[in-house]
Structure 1
Amino acid sequence: MSFSETLLERAQPMMSAIMSHPFVEAIANGQVPHNVLNYYVEQDEHYLKDYLQVTSLAITKTTNAEDITNLLATAAFVQNESQAHEVMLGITGHHIENWQREPETKRYTDHMYASAYHGTYADAIAVLLPCAWSYAVIGEQLVSRGANREQNPLKEWIELYAPQKNSDTPDYNIWRFEALNRAVTTLNNEQKEHVAQTFLCSLEMEWHFWEAAWQQKTWQFQH
C-alpha cells in the first residue's frame, strides 16, 4: 500500500466520528440551531484566512511546478468558500461580529502554522489535507444519503463540497494524496510517522472544530 492509503486506513475511525457528529447529522437533516451556524461561520472565517497563509507557506517549500499550480488553484477555491458561509448566514440572518479566535480554532491554526513553518514539504501538505478531504467525504456521503433534497436549506452547502462526478473540474484531493506520496519518498520511517501524525492531528482537530461549534465553546475569561 502507498503511504496515503495506509494513512487513510488509520484515519477511518476519526472520519467515521466526524460523519456521525450531531452537527453533521443536523446538516443532513437541515435542522442546525442558528447559534451553531453563526459560531461555525465566524470561526471558519478565521480558519480559512489562516488556511490561505499556510497554503502560501507550502508553496515556498516545493519547486514542483504542477504542485505550485494546484496549490494556487485550491487557494482560489478557499477564497470562494464565502459562498458556503452565505448559505448558512442566509438561514440565520446573522452578521459576523465576533472576530476573536475561540480556543479550538486557535489550537488548530497554531498546529497548521507550526507544521508549515518547521516541517518538511510533506508536513505542509499533510497539515492542510484533512480539511479538504474530510469536507469532500462529508459532501459525497450526504449526497449519497439524499440529504441534498430541495427541502433542505443547506442543500447548496452540501453540494458545494460534494465531488462533482461529471465535471471538468479536477479532483484536487487525488492530487493532494499523490503529492503527499511523492513528498515522503525521501523521508526515513521516523520522518514519515511525523508526517502521519501531522495529518491525523489535523483530522482530529476537524472533529473538534465541529464539536466546538455544537457546544459553543469559548474562552473561560474575557481577553
Structure 2
Amino acid sequence: MSFSQDLLTRAQPTMDAIMVHPFLKAIAEGNVPDDVLNYYVEQDEHYLKDYLTITALAVTQTDNHEDIAKLLDVAQFIGNESKAHEVMLGITGHQVENWRRGPETLLYVNHMYESAYRGTYADTLAALLPCAWSYEVMGRELVAAGANNEQNPLKEWIELYAPNDDSKSYTIWRFEALDREVAKLTPQQQEHVAQTFLLSLEMEWRFWEAAWVQEKWQFNI
C-alpha cells in the first residue's frame, strides 16, 4: 500500500463526517440559510488568499518542472473560485465586507503557513491537499446523489467542484507528488506529513462547522 493510499484510509472517517455535516446536507437540499452562506463566503475569501500565497511558497520549494507547472495551474483555478462565491452571493444579495478572519479560519491558515515555513515540501503539499481533495469528493458525491438538479439554487456551485477528466488528473498528480516526496523522508518525517494532512482535513470540517454555527471572536478589537 502506498503512503497516499494508507493516508486516505486514515482520512475516510473525517471525510465521512464532512459529507454528513448539516451545512453539506443543506447544500444538497438547496436551502442553506443566508447568514451561513454569507459567513462562509467572507471567510473563504480570506482563506483563498492565504491558500494562494502558500501555493506560491510551494513553487519555491521544488525544482520539479511538472510540479511547478501544476502548482501554477492550481493558482489560476483559485482565481476562478470567485465564481462559486458569486453563486452564493447571488442567492443572498450580500456584498463582501472583508470581515475579520474567524477563529477557525485563522487556525487553519496558520497551520498551513507553519507547515510551509517549518516543514518539508511534502508537508506543504500535505497541508494544501485536503481542501482540493475534499471538495472533489463532495462535488462527485453530491452530483451522484442528484443534488445538482434544476431546482437547487446551488446547482452551479456544486458542479464547479464535481470532478471531470481534467480535475481528476490534478488530484492524481497531487497524491503522486506526495508519494514521491515522502519517499525521501524518514519514517518519523513521513508520519509528520500524514499528521499535517489529517489536521488540514479536520480543519475543513471545522470550516463548515464555523459557518454553520456562526462562530465569532468573544471580543471586538
TM-score by length of 2: 0.98
SS in structure 2 of the partner of residue 178 of structure 1? helix
List aligned pairs for 1:1-223, cutoff 5 A: 1-164=1-164, 167=165, 171-223=169-221
CA distance in structure 1 between the partners assigned to 2:115 and 2:166 by the alignment: 32
The structural deviation recorded for 1:170 is: 5.8
CA distance in structure 2 between the partners assigned to 1:221 and 1:18 by the alignment: 29
- AA aligned to 2:177 is A
CA distance in structure 1 between the partners assigned to 2:57 and 2:167 by the alignment: 25
Which ranges in structure 2 are unaligned for 5 or more consecutive residues?
A: none
CA distance in structure 1 between the partners assigned to 2:198 and 2:17 by the alignment: 13
Residues 38 and 89 in structure 1, CA contact (< 8 A), matched pair in contact too: yes
The structural deviation recorded for 1:98 is: 3.7
Aligned residues: 221
Which structure features the higher share of helix residues? 2
Instruction: Please report the RMSD computed on the Cα atoms of aligned residues, expressed in angstroms.
Output: 0.9
CA distance in structure 2 between the partners assigned to 1:170 and 1:60 by the alignment: 25
Residues 67 and 179 in structure 1, CA contact (< 8 A), matched pair in contact too: yes
Q: 1:206 to 1:170 in 2, by over 3 A?
A: closer
Residues 163 and 171 in structure 1, CA contact (< 8 A), matched pair in contact too: no
Which ranges in structure 1 are unaligned for 5 or more consecutive residues?
A: none
- AA aligned to 1:49 is K
Q: 1:18 to 1:170 in 2, by over 3 A?
A: closer
* % identical aligned pairs: 69
Tell me the alpha carbon deviations over residues 107-150 of structure 1, each in whole angstroms, 9 at most, x when there is no partner: 00000000001100000000000000000000000000000000
Q: 1:219 to 1:58 in 2, by over 3 A?
A: same
